[in-house]
């Protein structure tokens, strides 16, 4: 039997032995010539709009005032028509400057959708107006507009340039502000009038599900339904995350996180960061809320609160819906911040911290009935409430800012009303060192002070001997909340 011997071939020689593809398979594709319509686009506008459908209309950069117009005012809109034209949507311009009723500048709001036109570029005449002007004619060049028929033309100069619109539903035809970027189905689709420098990315971001339109600038919505139902006039909001700031209708909010600030509406200047945080907030303003699910239950209309948690502590919140000027950190540090209107006993306290436990301003030292002093860390409705505190140590009691010299008044503090419970001090404790507004009495060596911890949410100042004349003073209970 004859043997067939195979000669070894190197990889290189093997590759050369394979058939080469035809030249047409590896050559560069032929250059694509731009058609007449595409050739118009660079000169037509410096905005980009890509949405379903393409329409022929008036080129934004080509419009000019003609005729003998009179009686116009700034803001008048004029719907145009032309002889020999067939429209599915008529072009609309707005008068942006006048001199004695004569337009000196116009902007193209709606380029129109034209299905038939004369061979040469027509002169457009007025078919309707929102004002009382007459005689305006507009010249313009027809061409393909790279946008749906309802997209307003923004390329008339100045700040009306530089917009990008990529979405399945276009913005309002009455929008003529510039430098807007709308990407996503219905994104930015309720911005109106001169709204400028807005960025909306995501389905319904800065969207159109609200009851009205939005006139505002410098707003940023990133995320599905971020700012979905925004309505009104406002600026400078930053909303990041699915459903973040869903119904915002105020200025200067920064809301970051899925579902954060979801109900925040007319309150402005809030900073809300964290998944689900600030979920209960509606009209409250100037709040700082940091952490997942912080302020989800109570805070609605209050302002100037600082609420912080590093975990999902739903009870890092305010004690009431309209609480203001509260600090609550991690359920362990709480207190009252100084308000803009007055200095309402600012005091910050934490478990293990020596601080003001309670204050009674204007205590009456001429009566022998009970006067309650709320112990803030243990009073659930108080802005100084600390969830982690269960009891406290009293270290000092001071009486100061007296309206008269307390030469006669004597008494003590009790953990229950009507001079019951545990006494702190003695029925004969004097306050004689408080002689005026700049002096004070420090109550020392008080009975039970150094041997007891206390759990009462209120202490009661109850005198056994009244001053015998009008006299008031401020009582401070100092101590340490513990658990």
Strands (E), 46-191: 48-50, 55-58, 64-70, 77-81, 86-89, 92-99, 102-110, 113-116, 123-129, 134-139, 142-145, 164-166, 181-183
pLDDT at residue 141, as a whole number: 85
Residue 18 vs residue 143, higher pLDDT? 143
Q: Look up residue 398 and give its DSSP letter.
A: E
Give CA–CA dist 74/102, Å, rounded. Answer: 10
* Contact call for residues 241 and 260 (beta carbons, < 8 A): yes
Give pLDDT, residue 176. 78
pLDDT value at residue 312? 65
User: Rounded mean pLDDT of 404-423?
Assistant: 97
Give tens-digit pLDDT for 355-369.
Answer: 999 999 999 999 999
pLDDT > 90: percent of the chain: 59
Confidence of residue 211 (pLDDT cuts 50, 70, 90): low
- Statement: residue 149 has pLDDT above 70: no
Please report the domains of the chain, with CATH numbers, ordered by start residue: 46-179 (no CATH), 349-482 (2.60.120)
pTM greater than the 0.75 cutoff? no
Q: Out of 209-213, 256-260, 425-429, which region has the weakest mean confidence (pLDDT)?
A: 209-213
pLDDT, average across residues 207-223: 86
- Separation between Cα atoms, residue 315 and residue 331, nearest integer Å: 7
Mean pLDDT in the chain? 83
Confidence check: pLDDT of 2 > 90: no
Q: How far is CA 349 from CA 118, 154, 337, 378, 480, in A?
A: 80, 56, 11, 11, 9
Taking Cα atoms as reference points, which of 163, 224, 157 lies closest to residue 198?
Answer: 163
Residue for token digits 């590896």?
26
The predicted structure's pLDDT at residue 14: 34
* CA distances (Å), origin 338, targets 289, 306, 325, 437: 18, 12, 7, 22
Q: What are phi and psi of 392, to 5 degrees?
A: -155, 160
pLDDT, tens digit (0-9, with 9 covering 90-100), for 276-295:
999 999 999 999 999 999 99
- The answer to whether 419 touches 355, Cβ cutoff 8 Å, is no
**Digit-coded pLDDT (tens) for 176-203:** 787 889 988 889 988 888 888 999 999 8
Question: Which position has the higher pLDDT, 294 or 168?
Answer: 294
Task: Output the six-digit token pair for 296.
Answer: 């989800």
E strand or H helix at 482, and its extent? strand 472-482
The residues, ordered by sequence, that sit 6+ positions from 22 with a Cβ below 8 Å of its Cβ are none
Determine the distance from the C-alpha atom of residue 275 to the mean position of all C-alpha atoms in its chain, rounded to a whole number.
15
Q: Which residue has the higher pLDDT, 310 or 14?
A: 310
Write down the residue that tokens 């006039």 correspond to: 233
Q: How far apart are CA 91 and CA 224, in angstroms?
A: 33
Q: Given pLDDT bands bounded at 50, 70 and 90, which one contains residue 54?
A: very low
The whole-number pLDDT of residue 23 equals 35
Instruction: Compare 111 and 245 and report the one with higher pLDDT.
Output: 245
């Amino acid at each position: 039997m004859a043997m067939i011997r195979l000669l070894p071939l190197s990889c290189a020689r093997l590759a050369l032995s394979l058939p080469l593809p035809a030249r047409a398979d590896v050559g560069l594709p032929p250059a694509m010539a731009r058609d007449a319509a595409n050739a118009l686009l660079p000169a037509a506008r410096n905005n980009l709009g890509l949405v379903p459908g393409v329409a022929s209309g008036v080129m934004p950069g080509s419009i000019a005032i003609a005729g003998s117009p009179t009686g116009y005012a700034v803001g008048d809109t004029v719907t145009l028509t032309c002889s020999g034209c067939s429209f599915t949507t008529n072009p609309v311009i707005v008068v942006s400057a006048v001199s004695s009723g004569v337009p000196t500048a116009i902007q193209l709001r709606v380029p129109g959708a034209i299905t038939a036109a004369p061979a040469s570029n027509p002169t457009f005449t007025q078919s309707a107006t929102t004002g009382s002007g007459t005689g305006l004619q507009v010249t313009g060049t027809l061409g393909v507009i790279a946008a749906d028929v309802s997209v307003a033309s923004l390329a008339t100069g100045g700040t009306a340039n530089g917009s990008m619109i990529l979405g399945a539903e276009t913005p309002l035809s009455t929008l003529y502000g510039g430098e807007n970027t709308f990407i996503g189905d219905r994104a930015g689709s309720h911005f109106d009038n001169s709204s400028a420098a807005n960025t909306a990315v995501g389905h319904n971001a800065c969207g159109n599900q609200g009851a009205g339109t939005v006139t505002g600038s410098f707003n940023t919505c990133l995320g599905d339904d971020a700012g979905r139902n925004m309505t009104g006039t406002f600026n400078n909001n930053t909303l990041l995350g699915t459903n973040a700031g869903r119904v915002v209708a105020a200025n200067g909010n920064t809301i970051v996180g899925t579902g954060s600030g979801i109900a925040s509406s007319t309150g402005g200047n809030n900073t809300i960061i964290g998944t689900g945080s600030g979920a209960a907030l509606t009209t409250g303003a100037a709040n700082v809320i940091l952490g997942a699910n912080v302020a989800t239950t109570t805070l609605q209309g209050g302002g100037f609160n600082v609420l912080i948690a590093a975990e999902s502590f739903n009870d890092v919140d305010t004690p009431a819906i309209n609480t203001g000027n509260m600090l609550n950190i991690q359920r362990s540090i709480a207190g009252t911040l100084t308000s803009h209107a007055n200095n309402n006993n600012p005091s910050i306290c934490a478990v293990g911290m020596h601080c003001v436990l309670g204050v009674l301003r204007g205590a009456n030292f001429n009566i022998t009935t009970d006067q309650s002093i709320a112990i803030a860390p243990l009073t659930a409705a108080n802005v100084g409430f600390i969830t982690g505190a269960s009891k406290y140590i009293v270290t000092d009691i001071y009486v100061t800012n007296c309206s008269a010299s307390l030469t006669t008044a004597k008494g003590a503090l009790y953990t229950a009303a009507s001079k019951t419970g545990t006494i702190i001090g003695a029925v004969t404790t004097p306050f004689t060192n408080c002689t005026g507004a700049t002096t004070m009495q420090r109550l020392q060596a008080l009975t039970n002070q150094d041997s007891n911890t206390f759990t009462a949410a209120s202490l009661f100042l109850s005198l056994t001997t009244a001053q015998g004349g009008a006299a008031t003073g401020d009582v401070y209970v100092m101590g340490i909340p513990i658990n």
